[in-house]
Each structure stands twice: as C-alpha cells, then as structure tokens.
Chain A
Amino acid sequence: MLLTERLVTDVLLAALSTGGDFAEIFMEDTYNTMIRMINGTVEEGVTGRDYGVGIRIFQGMRSVYAYANDTARENLMKVALEAAAALADTPKVKSIVLARMAVEKFNPIVLEPRQVASGDKVGVMKRAHAAAFDHHEQISQVAINYLDTDQSVFIANSEGLMADDRRVRTRLAINAVATKGNEKQSGFYGPGRHMGFELFEHLDVEEYAQEAARIAVTMVNADYAPSGKYPVIIHNGFGGVIFHEACGHGLEATSVAKGASVFAGKLGEKVASELVTAVDDGTIPNAWGSQNIDDEGHKTKRNVLIENGILKGYMIDKLNGRRMGMEPTGNSRRQSYKYAPTSRMTNTFICAGQSSVDEIISNTEYGLFAKHMGGGSVNPATGEFNFAVSEGYLVRNGKIEKPVRGATLIGRGSEILQKIDMVGSNLSTGQGMCGSISGSIPADVGQPTIRVTEITVGGRKEAN
C-alpha cells in the first residue's frame, strides 16, 4: 500500500477543511481464503481481496465517516471533501507533521497462508474430517471450514501518527453431527490463532475433531435437562462467552459513554463477587484477538476491567474517550475499512482462581455442569442473555450423574457476576467472532471453570 506522506497530509487537511479538529485515514489490503468441506467433499473454495480506505473526522463529539475502494489521489481527495461537507465551520487545523510510529511486532508469522498450496489446506481438513467421522458410528455428518486472512493496514491521523501493521489469522472450524433415530445433536470446535499456517504444527487437529464428535455423540444419547433455578458450573474456555456477551459489551465505551450500560458510572464500585478478576488483553502473542496496534494506531494493552469484584476500567476508543474524559486503551477495532472503529474486546477473560474442577463439582449438591457453551443472544442495554448449553451434565451429590441436553442459560450479566462463588485454576480460552457496530471481529473469550449459585435453566423436564 503506497500513499505518499504528501498525499496523506493533503487528504487529512481536506478532511479538516470544514472545521473538524481530528482526521484519520485507515487503508487496508486484505487477502482471504475460505474452503468448505462437507462429509469429506470440498464443496466450495473462495479466494478474495478486500481493499479500500476509510476517512474519519471528529468535530468535538461529532463523528463523520466515509469510505471507498478507489485510492487514487483524486478520489481520496473527493471522499475527504464529501465527508467534510457534513460539517460547516472554518478550518482549525492548518498543518500536519507526520512521524512514522515504530510498531513492535509480537505476533510472529512463520508460514504465510498465501504461500501455502490450497491442497495442503485441504489436507488438514481431510485429517479433521476423518478423525471426526471415524470417531463413532452415530456421526452422520462432519462439516469443516478452513479460513485464513492476511490484512495489511496503514493508519495516519492529523495528530501526526503514521503506522503500518499486518494481521494474519488462520482458523479451522469443525462441526460434527450425531444421529440417533430422528434426533440430531452437534458438537463444535473452532480453534484459531493470530498466526499463519504454522497453526497446524501447534494444533492437534485430530484431537479437536474427535472432541467435536464426542460432544455430538454424548448429547444425542443424553436425557433432557431439567428446568428451574439452580447452581450452574460453567466450564473453562468457550464458557467465557457469557462473560463476553453479557458483561464485556457493557464495559465497552461504546455503551458506557452514553450511559447505556449497567456498568456506567460505577468505577471503583463492587460489581462482582470478590472472586472475580477480569481482564482484556490484546498483547498475548499470537492469540486470536491480539493485535500489535489497534485500528486507531494505539498500542494494544492488558487492561484490568474488574479486580477482586471492583470495577477498575473500561475499554475505550478515541471518540468515546473524548465523551468520557478518559484515554484510549488500545481497544479500538473494526471489521474493515467499511466500518468506523469503536471500543471492542480483544482477548477477554476471567482470571484463574484457586479451586480445582474436582473441588467445584464435589462441593455442588445439585446443579448443571455446562461443559461446552453454544450460541446465544444478549440485549446489550440490559445485559439479559440467553445461551444454549451444547454439552451439559447433571451434578448430584457432588458427582457428575449423567449427560443432559437441551439446556438454556437465562439471566442478566450483572447479576451473574455477583453470584459467582467458586473460581477454578484452569483458565483457558476459546475463539469466536464478535459482532457489534464496527462489524465482526476475531476475539478470544475465556475463563476458568466457575460456579454460579443460581441461574435460570431452560429445559424440557422438571428439576428434582
């Protein structure tokens, strides 16, 4: 991507020609690969290139955004002036001195996916298919998706920042379906990292595929879960999706700045059990949600959100930072140049506690062990959530009694945080795609195994 300093300066000044006090250019050139396999047959392969530039202008708390694909000088100037037309004032910024920012690259890429033959990618998929399909005779379908993306970005702003970054991500998504009579249940694993094709040197593909198949088979043979309000043990890894959705989004400045969050105005207050410390950390090398810099050019950070139950901080982007009178935290993210960035999570997790999983289960007289979480929904304004349990077990008298299916966890994030009474030592993470107003972005969710004293569980049987 070649934009000369002269062109960058001219475009930024054009954007500021009607009274804006800050302008920013975000340019990207991204190469994507997606291959879809069902039952060992490659059904689809797509190669693509996303390319374009976004120009953002602030005037106080107002924000104007424009984007286009054509990055020729005359078009960039046109786009900048069209965006500037939303404002009508005299210019406040008349000169810009750009300085290139040294970006520390802590997400090393070894095998660039674009240099790897498609046949090798299909080879990994076939291994996953075979491991899942051969796991059990009840496995009736296995769907495998392979994805890689190689995003180069250039960011410059009227404060003089000029930075480049490259984000390479690779992921394998495995979905196994088990059938018993007319019943079908599925199991899913979707491991991914901010790394190249070397991911598959670190990853035991067969183990993940067999796990997906094991979940499907276990659930298709399970009895229905009981409904009611009772203790729920949420396992580590992707179990953190509930914290992400029902609490994490409420800690983003996007919600907090407008007071549209139950956590707004509560810094320093107790918002969770004292056992809960939660962090958003975009600096973990090669983690799925990590980036060297955010999409405004700030270095990513490790931000403590909740410490021993006390609300310590929010995730803040530049615009909402203005509204809140607080500094950005390296959390500004966007799906692509088509979205203005805003505060988003990176790798967000509840930190490890002291209890072992055995201790948590043996101390639970009656409850649900939600070993794997599935999809769900949340109302960001209220924190009310609804999540399916994709692998669940009934716990009775301190022991796992039997697998149960069809359970749904229903509650409010802020209330659940207060009801966490045991936190395990087995922190791990799972990968997801997080959707919000700046698009769909890769984010790690995570937690150790936790116990919540009471959650409403939707199910098909009476609790007993």
Chain B
Amino acid sequence: MDIREFKDQVFAAGREVGLEDMEVYVSRSKDFSVRIYQTEVDDYTVSVEQGVGFRARFAGKVGYAYVEALDQDSIKLLVEGAKENAQIIDSTDEIVFFEGSPEYPEVSAYSEELEGVSAEEKIEFAKSLEAEAFAADPRVSMVNWSTAGYGETEVYIANTKGLEQSYNRNGAFSYVAAVVKEGETVKTGGRFRFDNDWTKFDATKQAQEAVAEGVSLLNASSVKSGDYRVLLRYDVAPF
C-alpha cells in the first residue's frame, strides 16, 4: 500500500474512534553489509524495511503505537493502540503537533556518488581491511571483524495539523577489529568509520589504527586502586 494512502486510511479510522490530532512518522530504508573472514565473504546482508510510528491525542492525552506492515490489521492496531495508550497515561506533559514551517533549508544528506559505489567495491574494501590488519603487525593472530556497508533512509512525516515533509539520507560504514597476541597475552583493538563520502575510507589507515589500539594494550599492568586524575581520550565516551 502506498504510504500516503495508508496515512489517509489511518487518519480516517482515527477520526471514527474520536482521535483528535494525529501524526504518522514513516521510515523506509535499504541497507547492505558484507563481512569478510579469512579472505572470504563470511556474511552478506541486504534489506528493505519500513516502519510507521503513529501518535494521536485522545481526551487531552497522547498515545503512541507503531507497525511495520501496511495492512488493515496494522491500521486497527495503530488507532486502537494509540487510543488505549492515551487512556492509561497520567503524564500531563504538553505535547505539540507541529503544523510545519513556511520554508525549510536544503540539507545535503544524500550522496548520489555514494549510492553508486557497487557491492563489489565494498566487498573489496572489506577484504583490504582484513589484509591490511594482518600486514600491520606480526602479532595480529586474527582479524575477527572486517566489514563494510551502506544504508539509505527516507523519512516521511505528516499530521492532521497540515505538516507533510520528507527527506532522505545515506551513508557508508566500515569496521575492523584485530586480535593481537604476545606470549599468553591476548588483546583486541578496533576502528569504526562512518561517512557519506566514499573517498574518505582508507583501509590501510583504519586497519593500522585498529591494530595499534590492540598492541597498545599488550603488557599492561594493573593499576592500584585509588583516586586519580583521569584523562579521557576523545573517543572513549562518545555518547
């Protein structure tokens, strides 16, 4: 079912059961990922998925429901679920259904060049990550993660206040993790990269950084418990 047709049917069903303000948030995405292990494709995943989030005001409270299938069962679940959830909520937080802005700035979040990068190129990149990790240091005993992938998402939002907008974005990622061993000591190091410019992906640099991370942990000694000044590297607590 077309998403706009689905939205119209949901809003119509909602009005029949007394829902007031209503809003749908639709996300549709296509993803690809490949993982290499010992120079072979170990895992290859493609997906096309969608999800519809729905919120609605009933008797002054806002309830929420979501579905992934666009069928009549889902319309019923969205409408009845949101209504029932609105009825059990005690929170008096004011929730606004935004009618939209007169104009929106153009944001470049979608790269057609990136979309054009073939699956074969990403497979070769992931293979390079593994090879470069082994080449980076003789103490690398295993490369347990060597993966590359791509994703694109289209988001559509519409409500009964008149808002109807959409945008799309895409991006690629890569991750490599190596196991390094010296004597009986085993440590791991990894590096993740995300960007929507494929030219910024550098397998050699990423693999070397991952291996260096693992090697830096070898021969570590326990620190005595106590109160210390702690320096947090820029990437150890990103969230």
User: A40-66: contact bitstring with B at CB < 8 Å (1 yes, 0 no)?
Assistant: 111111111111100000000111111
The yes or no answer to B151 lying at the interface (CB within 8 A) is no
Q: Would A83 and B144 count as touching, CB distance under 8 A?
A: no
| CB-defined contacts of A52 to chain B, threshold 8 Å | 49, 68-69
Q: Would B43 and A43 count as touching, CB distance under 8 A?
A: no
- Label chain B's interface by main secondary structure: strand
Q: Would B44 and A338 count as touching, CB distance under 8 A?
A: no
- Chain A residue nearest in CB terms to B53: A48
B96 CB to closest chain A CB (Å) equals 17
Q: Would A43 and B91 count as touching, CB distance under 8 A?
A: yes
| CB-defined contacts of B81 to chain A, threshold 8 Å | 47-48
- Chain A residue nearest in CB terms to B178: A381
Q: Would A45 and B64 count as touching, CB distance under 8 A?
A: yes
Q: How far is the CA of A4 from the CA of B148 in the complex (A)?
A: 36
Mark out the residues of chain B between 54 and 96 whose CB falls within 8 Å of any chain A CB in the assembled complex.
Answer: 63-69, 73-74, 77, 81-82, 84-85, 87-91
- Label chain A's interface by main secondary structure: strand
The yes or no answer to A340 lying at the interface (CB within 8 A) is yes
The yes or no answer to A7 lying at the interface (CB within 8 A) is no
- Chain A residue nearest in CB terms to B224: A227
Binds A, one of B34-42, B131-139, B166-174, B231-239: B34-42
The yes or no answer to B221 lying at the interface (CB within 8 A) is no
| CB-defined contacts of B12 to chain A, threshold 8 Å | none
User: A107-144: contact bitstring with B at CB < 8 Å (1 yes, 0 no)?
Assistant: 00000000000110010000000000000000000000
Q: How far is the CA of A210 from the CA of B167 in the complex (A)?
A: 49
Q: Would A41 and B44 count as touching, CB distance under 8 A?
A: no
| CB-defined contacts of A61 to chain B, threshold 8 Å | 40, 42
The yes or no answer to A432 lying at the interface (CB within 8 A) is no
Q: How far is the CA of A48 from the CA of B54 in the complex (A)?
A: 10
Q: Would B40 and A49 count as touching, CB distance under 8 A?
A: no
A126 CB to closest chain B CB (Å) equals 10
B59 CB to closest chain A CB (Å) equals 14
Q: Which of B37, B46, B68, B77 contacts A47 (CB 8 A)?
A: B77
User: A183-202: contact bitstring with B at CB < 8 Å (1 yes, 0 no)?
Assistant: 00000000000000000000
Q: Would B91 and A69 count as touching, CB distance under 8 A?
A: no
Q: Would A45 and B85 count as touching, CB distance under 8 A?
A: yes
Q: Would B142 and A67 count as touching, CB distance under 8 A?
A: no
Q: Would B187 and A86 count as touching, CB distance under 8 A?
A: no
Q: How far is the CA of A365 from the CA of B90 in the complex (A)?
A: 52
Q: Would B85 and A68 count as touching, CB distance under 8 A?
A: no
Q: Would A35 and B42 count as touching, CB distance under 8 A?
A: no
Q: Would B186 and A382 count as touching, CB distance under 8 A?
A: yes
Residue in A50, A379, A381 with the greatest tally of chain B CB atoms within 10 Å: A381
The yes or no answer to B45 lying at the interface (CB within 8 A) is yes
| CB-defined contacts of A71 to chain B, threshold 8 Å | 69
Q: Would B144 and A258 count as touching, CB distance under 8 A?
A: yes
Q: Would A86 and B91 count as touching, CB distance under 8 A?
A: no
| CB-defined contacts of A99 to chain B, threshold 8 Å | none
Q: Would B68 and A45 count as touching, CB distance under 8 A?
A: no
Q: Would A49 and B74 count as touching, CB distance under 8 A?
A: yes
Q: Which of B89, B119, B179, B186 contacts A45 (CB 8 A)?
A: B89
Residue in A31, A40, A48, A460 with the greatest tally of chain B CB atoms within 10 Å: A48
- Chain B residue nearest in CB terms to A41: B90
Q: Which of B40, B68, B84 contacts A50 (CB 8 A)?
A: B68
B147 CB to closest chain A CB (Å) equals 11
